[in-house]
Amino acid sequence: MSINQSGDEIDLLIGKMKTATSPFRAVLNSLHEKFRNNQEGDVADYIPELFKAKPDWFGVTVVTTKGQSFQVGDSRQNFSIQSVSKPFIFGAALDEHGRNKVLERVGVEPTGEAFNSISLDEESNRPFNPLVNAGAIATTDLITGKDYPSRVNRLFEIFSNYIGRDVHVDNSIFMSERTTGHRNRAIGHLMRNFEMVSNNFEESLELYFQQCSLVVDSHDLAVMGATLANQGVNPLTDVRAIAPNHVKDVLSIMLSCGMYDYAGEWAFRVGIPAKSGVGGGIVAVVPDVCGIGIFSPPLDKKGNSVRGVQVCEELSKEFGLHTFAVSEERQKLIQMLS
Ligand code: GLU
């Protein structure tokens, strides 16, 4: 949708998706058919447990802000959420502490560096943004609770509100994250050196490993996306997951930093807020319209799901979803006014 799309246009778009003949279901089926045999990309292997994923897994779900759901392929296949969790924790930190405090700990600047780079902004000592590991660890550090179990419960509560059911961690993934997490520990120590994280940062690293290991499927990601699209209220449960004034902060960061080093190209080509993870998940948000959840483990060189990127590119093109797209309807008005 375009930034100035009217309520009528939004209803029309949702209407097109849900009609009895369901042309949208046919669109999803044909996209799945078109890309399912694409064998490009590699399943992530830097955490041994992730490498167990099957390259053929491919599921897509779209959930609208009115709560309709459209699914195709392995839409209910479980996987670990990984970095897709990061914007949601950024949102929770904003809700808990307010903008000023959060921005003391983390910037909002895209970086051309790797997601796990051991670097901070030289002037402010802050991590560049909440979607690289350093920034994510700093925002997870802001998740409070009287002790570690209460912080874990708070973490689960954040995601349960978005997803609409209880969540749990995949213990083998968690152990794999923990035993191989030296780089993340190094980032944690560097940030502690500059007092960008609390004294408790080692516990926060554990919490971060738990966060990355949460079990989701593409339907869950679509509901999470639909919650952001719906100004922070889960359309299936009516539960508020994030304050309305923080939704745009989360979406802005997703648009500028959500797709690793492909973020600029993504904003240019697809133009909707999204976040991907090394598990092969992508969540994308079409404000006021729907959330899109995709799962397909083979990743491209930038770390994004190959089939996931293709599906989003096609949907964006087909339905004019780019944030700055000029819809045909608007074009007509522009012509009438000129
Ligand atoms: N568990 C991963 C890490 O911190 C998250 C990576 C990702 O999905 O980008 O290394």
72's enclosing H/E stretch is: strand 69-73
Answer whether 174 contacts ligand 1 (Cβ < 6 A). no
Answer whether 210 contacts ligand 1 (Cβ < 6 A). no
What does the pLDDT read at residue 2?
Answer: 47
The residues, any chain, with a CB within 8 Å of residue 242's CB and separated by 6 or more, are: 88, 91, 92, 94, 95, 227, 228, 232, 250
Sign for the CA dihedral angle at 184, 190, 194, 198 comes to positive
pLDDT of the chain, 338 residues: tens digit per residue? 444 456 666 666 665 565 445 789 999 999 999 999 999 999 999 888 999 999 999 999 999 999 999 999 999 999 999 999 999 999 999 999 999 999 999 999 998 788 888 889 999 999 999 999 999 999 999 999 999 999 999 999 999 999 999 999 999 999 999 999 999 999 999 999 999 999 999 999 999 999 999 999 999 999 999 999 999 999 999 999 999 999 999 999 999 999 999 999 999 999 999 999 999 999 999 999 999 999 999 999 999 999 999 999 999 998 889 999 877 765 666 676 66
Q: Residues 18, 24: contact at Cβ < 8 Å? A: yes
Query: Is 83 in the active site?
Result: yes
Could you give the domains of the chain? 7-81+215-336 (3.40.710.10), 83-212 (3.40.710.10)
Answer whether 212 contacts ligand 1 (Cβ < 6 A). yes
Q: Which of 113, 115, 132 to mutate to test the pocket of ligand 1 (most atoms within 8 A of CB)?
A: 115
User: Which atom of ligand 1 is found nearest the CA of 46?
Assistant: 10
Please identify which of the residues 278, 286, 289, 311 carries the catalytic annotation.
278
Distance 136 CA to ligand 1 centre (A): 10
Distance 10 CA to ligand 1 centre (A): 35
Please identify which of the residues 60, 63, 85, 86 carries the catalytic annotation.
86
For the packed helices 86-97 and 244-257, what is the interaxial angle rounded to 10 degrees? 140
What does the pLDDT read at residue 263?
Answer: 94
Tokens 């097109």 sit on residue: 16
pTM of this structure: 0.92
Query: Is 86 in the active site?
Result: yes
Distance 3 CA to ligand 1 centre (A): 32
What does the pLDDT read at residue 119?
Answer: 87
154's enclosing H/E stretch is: helix 148-163
Please identify which of the residues 83, 85, 218, 327 carries the catalytic annotation.
83
Answer whether 170 contacts ligand 1 (Cβ < 6 A). no
Answer whether 177 contacts ligand 1 (Cβ < 6 A). yes
Please identify which of the residues 43, 80, 102, 208 carries the catalytic annotation.
208
What does the pLDDT read at residue 13?
Answer: 63
